Every structure is written in structure tokens, then in C-alpha cells.
Amino acid sequence: MKIYHLSHTDLDGYACQFVTHFYFKNVKFYNSNYGKEINENFNVIINDIERKQNLEKAIILITDLNLSLSQCEEFDKVCKEKKIKIFLLDHHQSGEECAKKYSWYLLDSKRCATKITYDFFSKICKSDVELSNFVDVVNSVDIWLSEDKNFELGKVFLGLIANAKEINRVMFKEAQVFYIFFLFERARKFIDKENSNVLLDNATHFIKKDFFTKDRDDTLANLISNFVVEKLSELKNDFTIEYEGYKGILTVNIGNTSIIGNDFLIKNPDYDFFVDISSRKTLSFRANGKIDVSIMAKNLVGGGGHKNASGGLFSAFKDSANYDYIKAQILDLIKSKELKKENKDVSANS
């Protein structure tokens, strides 16, 4: 049996996955905001399950996400056709209509999704005092129990996860979830300590440094950049694109494009250019002397700049939480420009 766990992108959502991870090891995690992103993730999950070719032993678990009736109808139909088990644990009152219609939609507005998930699995498997204490902290802040003893620590938990943006969740899904779990493991050690909220708040910077530090200490910013470049180098085959015979890498909302782009190209001399696309539809191009990216930017999106650092706006770009969908748009853009150039050359020679 393998669990495919889709959850929200906040404290409660990730904490649900932390609970699932405590009880089961054969789990693949996905995270989503609301709207079309849920559908995108569901389709990715179905594709992942079908690649395993073992549909009857797959379970889709959805937590801390409120589905619409149309989403429930679609998911229910697909899972029945493919004989995949699905169940949802949530606490948002807006899902009441769905809960009444679908038996797999379990709703309880009196507890946060993490507590629902813990209560559900602890009854099936076993209870755990330390995990239960962690769940109580999440519950206190998620449903805003301001008089609860855990509330102030819960607020720090909330900020800890809300500000855990160091690892890109679109490109490095597994590493990002592992990072969140690391933060949870460290944070829950502060439960029941005197002034626990202040202590955790003071320790947050060093907890993050502990995760990213390898051989030597450095600033947190440098440690994060080194981590990202290592990850890009490790997974570069997945992110590779080509343009007019040159090989490059495509990133999404990577941040610090100049530093990361330059470091990646130095450490990976077989690559000629580096492109990052942001949610604002901007493209940032970087090179290391092998290709003039100002010409590349001009040809692709009417942009420009310098030989080794340029930019532009891809106005037709549609943002997504699915890297493959984003990459497909860039590949289509490159292909369309290449075809346009070929047709122009044919016309000029005829």
C-alpha cells in the first residue's frame, strides 16, 4: 500500500503530513493552494500512480483542503474508474455540502485538520504522547484558541512555516517537505519549556542554519545559495532545455538569479545558459560567455540587456505549481520562435 498525500501549504497542511509520516513510511507528499492547483496536483498524483501500475494498492489522502462539488465529482469518478481509494480529512465549514454527498469526505469544524488526521490514525495504529502534544500546539493556533496554554508557541510555529521559503516547492518538492519536517522536529523540542515561544523565536535562525550547513559555517544566505546550486546540479537533467544548439537550465522563482545562475554555470561548465521565470511572467537570462543572452532574450520575448545578463517579459505565460507544465510553455515558446525563423529563412531563399 502506498499513500499519496495532498495537503495545504500552511502550518496545518504540512503538520497533517508530518503526522502521516510518523505512522507510515511509504508515502509521497504533494502540496497545494486552493483552486486549479488542487486539480493540477490530483492529475499529477493519478499519473504517478499509473506509472507504478498498482492502482488497487494506492490510497489518495487529502487534508486541510476544501474541495468544490465539481472537484469532488471529478475525483470520485476518476478514483472509482481506476479503483483507487480516496479519503479527505478537513475542518473547513465551507465543505459541508461535499461532506454530505460523499462518504470519503470527512469533515469536523471543531478541530484543525492536523488533529483530525492524528485522531484518525492514532485510533487505527497507536497514540503517541509527544506527537499528540505537537498536534495540540498546531490546533491551538489554527482554530485560534487564544486562551490555550499552547497558543503563543503555536503563533511561532505558524510563522516558522509561513517563512520557510528557502527551498523552492515547485522544483524541489521532496527536499522542501523534508525541510519542513526538520523544522517540526526541532520546534517540537520546545513544547512545555518555560517561555517556549520566546526560546523558539530566538532559535529559529540557528535551526535553519543547522539544516543548510555542511562543511563550514557561513551566512544563512550563502548556505541557502550553495544548497540550491547543489540541488540544481543534482537534478539538472530534469531542468535542462536547449536553444539553438546551446544547453541551458530552466528554473522557476529561484531567487538570487545572478548569484545562483553564475554559480551553477561555473560548477556545470557543460551548460551554456541559465533562465529563471517568475510568477510575474518575467524571464531572467544568465550566461558565462558562451552565448549572448541579450540576443536570446530579444528573440524569445523582445527583451534585452547585457551579453551575460538579460531579461524580458513572457506575457502569455501561465503560472503553475507544476514544473513540467511551466517547462512545456518555455519549450513551446522556443519551438515557435525557431519555426518562425525557419519559415522566414525559407521565404528569403525562395
Topology of the domain covering 236-349: Diaminopimelate Epimerase; Chain A, domain 1 (3.10.310)
In the chain, where are the structural domains located? Answer: 2-212, 236-349
Percent of the chain scored above 70 by pLDDT?
A: 97
Tens digit of each residue's pLDDT (9 = 90 or more) over 213-229: 998 999 999 999 999 99
pLDDT tier at 103, thresholds 50, 70, 90: very high
pLDDT tier at 307, thresholds 50, 70, 90: very high
- Which burial class, exposed, middle or buried, applies to 145 when counting CB atoms under 10 A from its CB (0-12, 13-18, 19+)? middle
Distance CA 108, CA 98 (A): 12
DSSP lists the bridge partners of residue 88 as 62, 105
Residue 346 has pLDDT above 60, yes or no: no
Question: Mean pLDDT over all residues of the chain?
Answer: 95
Distance CA 154, CA 138 (A): 6
Query: Which phi and psi (to 5°) does residue 212 adopt?
Result: -90, -15
2-212 CATH pick, 3.40.630, 3.40.50, 1.10.1740, 3.90.1640: 3.90.1640
Tell me what pLDDT residue 255 has: 86
CA 266 to chain centre: 27
Tell me what pLDDT residue 226 has: 94
Per-residue pLDDT, averaged over 314-318, amounts to 96
Per-residue pLDDT, averaged over 116-121, amounts to 98
Contact between residue 37 and residue 94 where contact means Cβ atoms under 8 Å apart: no
Residue 349 has pLDDT above 70, yes or no: no
- CB atoms closer than 10 angstroms to residue 268: 17
Per-residue pLDDT, averaged over 155-178, amounts to 96
- Pinpoint the alpha helices (H) of the chain: 11-23, 36-52, 69-82, 96-101, 113-124, 129-142, 151-162, 173-187, 196-212, 220-234, 236-239, 257-267, 293-301, 323-349
Region class of 58: left (phi > 0), else alpha (psi between -120 and 50), else beta: beta
Same fold, 2-212 and 236-349: no
Residue 177 has pLDDT above 60, yes or no: yes
Q: Which residue has the cell 517540526?
A: 184
Contact between residue 275 and residue 251 where contact means Cβ atoms under 8 Å apart: yes
Per-residue pLDDT, averaged over 105-129, amounts to 97
